[in-house]
Structure formats: structure tokens, C-alpha cells
Amino acid sequence: AGGSYSADPDLVGKLREQILAAMDIEMTTPQANMESVELMRIGYDEIDANPDGISLSGPMIEAGKLAGQIDREHLSNINSKAAKFGREQLAETHGSIAALYWITTPANTRTDQIEAGRQYVRANLQANKIGLSMHPMSQSLQEYKEVAPQYKAVHKLLGAQKSERVQMLARIGHGPDIGPSPRWPLKSRLL
């Protein structure tokens, strides 16, 4: 597996277009969107009860939850105000991508996938050590038909040859200071 990065405005701009398009497709394709909605933890109570998945928290989320405007029913309806607001927020934050890091493997074997995961963890730790943050942007690497054009475009833009596979794509840069992700207590995972 080989990790690469670029801050070239032309390349990053072309990749950003594909990333944002894939993200919008994922959030407007009912089945793909539902996969994410089912993993969402909406508000601090749900996050504390199940600290895995996609955490949605903060004052606006808590207020929307109390008002009955942010829940799985609203988020699963791709035409709801909550879903549209979510897409707008993601487009705004993800539209700021200035640099990208990616990992390409020779093929797509289980060994390739595991090695790419190991390499990503090492790269993320190194980035944090020098004051940078990484955030996966892998929607364009998914393998369902609706996102096939973005999958092809990203592989082409990153120079992946026929049998090669882009396993990971992440934005890299300076982000806000945030605490660690919610985690299960270690003793709850040991036998």
C-alpha cells in the first residue's frame, strides 16, 4: 500500500467536485442514506448509550431533537428539512477541502484492505503528532451503482491503474480542536 497526498489546487478541486457529488448521491439515495441514518446517534443521551456510529450532537441538534424536527424519521426522508439542512452543512464544511491524502493498493484483496487500514492509522497518528487533522472522505470510493461515475473519476484522477484500488481518501489540514470520539469502556469489550 502506498500513501500519497496533494494540495495542488487543480487536482484537489477536481477531487472535491467528485467527493461532494458522491456525498450528495449517498444522502439522496434512500437505501444508502438509510445505512447512515441507522448508525446515527442523535443527541448526547444516544451517544452515551451507544458510543459507536455517527454522532450528531451540539445545541442545534439537541434543540431540533426536543422540537421533534431531528429524528431518524426526518433524517431518513431525503426531502425533509432536517435532511436538506444536513446536506447543506456537509457541503459547506466539505467544500473547504484544501489537501487530500489517499492510499492505493495493488489490488482489492482482504490483505490489501487490512494493510491500507493499518497505514491509515499510522498516517493519522503522524498527522496528529505534527498538528494536522485527517477526516475520511470515502463516499466516492463506495461500490454501488449510483456512485459509479464518481468512483471511476476518483480512480482516474488519482492515477490508479486497472487492478489498483484507492482504499482511502481523506482530507488533511488544520481543523478545530475537538475531543476524542465517543468510546465504549474498554472493559465492556474484553472477555
Q: What is the average per-residue pLDDT within 171-183? A: 86
Q: What is the pTM of this model?
A: 0.87
pLDDT in tens, 52-104: 999 999 999 999 999 999 999 999 999 998 889 889 988 988 888 999 999 99
Domains, the chain: 2-22+97-173 (3.40.109.10), 30-77 (no CATH)
The answer to whether 87 and 13 are in contact (CB under 8 A) is no
| Residue 177 pLDDT > 70 | yes
pLDDT of residue 180: 80
d(CA 88, CA 160): 31
| Residue 145 DSSP class | G
d(CA 187, CA 73): 34
As a whole number, the mean pLDDT across the chain is: 93
Q: What is the pLDDT of residue 1?
A: 42
**Nearest Cα residue to 176 out of 63, 58, 83, 37:** 58
Amino acid 82: pLDDT: 87
pLDDT score for 175: 85
Contact 100, 118 (CB under 8 A): no
Q: Are strands 40-42 and 54-56 parallel, antiparallel or unpaired?
A: parallel
